[in-house]
Amino acid sequence: MKRKIVAAAAATALLLGNTAMAAEKPGQWYVTPMASAIWVDNERLVDDDIGAALSIGRALTDDVNVEFHGFNYALENGRELDYWGVGADVARVFYRNQRISPYVLGGFGWSKKNSDPGLDEDTIYGNLALGFLTDVTSNGSIALRTELRYRIDHDSNDRPDGSRGSFRDLMLKVGVQIPFGQPYAQPVAQRAEPAPPPPPPPPPPVDSDGDGVPDSRDQCPGTPRGVTVDAAGCPVDTDGDGVADYLDQCPGTPAGTRVDSRGCPITSVINLEGVTFAFNSSEITGDDRGILNEAVSILERYPDVRVEIAGHTDSVGNATYNMNLSERRAQSVVDFLVDRGIDRDRMTARGYGQNEPIADNATEAGRAMNRRVELRIIE
């Protein structure tokens, strides 16, 4: 009978081992056919022998299994003891996800003993075990289970003299543990939405004139390329005369000095060189207007300055006529400056006729130079 049980356990292991998965996961069931060697308590007066066991269980968590087991032994020594039972165990499994998973187990059960002659007894037993589950296939489809189990039969009257007591047996079991069924559903990890791309960097500030100062802060837009500017975007004026360094032809002018548009000191008489009039005319020409804009610039820069516009003629013609012509020329310049925004009260027009020549009236070139207008600073 013993041989049949062992053979049946081995056949079951081989059959199930080809069809199931190993190393049960939480939620899965498993079946474990095992062959068992038993070292019986000496007071049973029977020989050590082998038997078969079968466990069916379920993995409740990553750490805990519960299972039901059954066993059968046919022990002999002049008398035959047929010993079988069923029970329930709880196992604490360590490192379930590793190739080798040790475990400890404890439980209790009910057993039945039949012996010759005439013994028929039911008993309660308890057991403790230490074992290992080892994956033995490349895909983890079978776990080899090896276990050393210690069992105590209580209130047995199996002693030869018929007295009651307890027997302590030690068993070594070897089998295969084969999972089946579906594991617990694993929570689906929520896929994190990808972070939105960062916003594009703001465009660089606009600097239309390329002076290094953004237009939003540039108080002097349109500065020529290459001109050194200050934090406000205005051309640097080192000597503070109101004429930027790149235009200043007289750098280093002392502070407070009145200068013209070139940055050079203004004398008491400013000859508007180039403002010449046609013979016997007080009309301002197009070329004259560009030069007179210099006078506008000076008067705008120094709003407290009062000037006399002095008109002159050459020596050709009657002196009285020339005096009147020079006054008309001076008045033409005053009118031009007023049109450009200069206060008329800051200016007086006076004609000097031919009385103050600056060139020789004997030549055409000299006479052209004498037909002129000057700005004379009064205060």
Claim to verify: residue 30 and residue 145 sit in the same structural domain = yes
Claim to verify: residue 28 and residue 161 sit in the same structural domain = yes
CATH of the domain at 362: 3.30.1330.60
| Stated pTM of the model | 0.45
Domain hosting residue 103, numbered range: 2-180
Burial class (CB in 10 A: 0-12, 13-18, 19+), 295: buried
pLDDT at 154 over 70: yes
- 294 in any annotated domain: yes
Claim to verify: residue 171 and residue 278 sit in the same structural domain = no
CATH of the domain at 48: 2.40.160.20
Among residues 130, 147, 180, which one ends one of the domains?
A: 180
Q: How would residue 7 be classed by pLDDT, with cut points 50, 70 and 90?
A: very low
- 189 in any annotated domain: no
Q: How would residue 210 be classed by pLDDT, with cut points 50, 70 and 90?
A: confident
> How many domains does the chain fold into?
2
Among residues 180, 205, 222, which one ends one of the domains?
A: 180
Instruction: For residue range 323-333, list pLDDT tens digits in order.
Output: 998 898 899 88
Claim to verify: residue 171 and residue 291 sit in the same structural domain = no
Among residues 180, 209, 239, which one ends one of the domains?
A: 180
- 210 in any annotated domain: no
- 310 in any annotated domain: yes
- 157 in any annotated domain: yes
Instruction: For residue range 15-60, list pLDDT tens digits in order.
Output: 333 433 446 888 889 999 999 988 877 776 677 788 899 999 999 9
Instruction: For residue range 257-316, list pLDDT tens digits in order.
Output: 888 777 888 777 777 777 767 777 777 776 777 778 888 888 888 888 899 999 888 898
- 211 in any annotated domain: no
- 290 in any annotated domain: yes
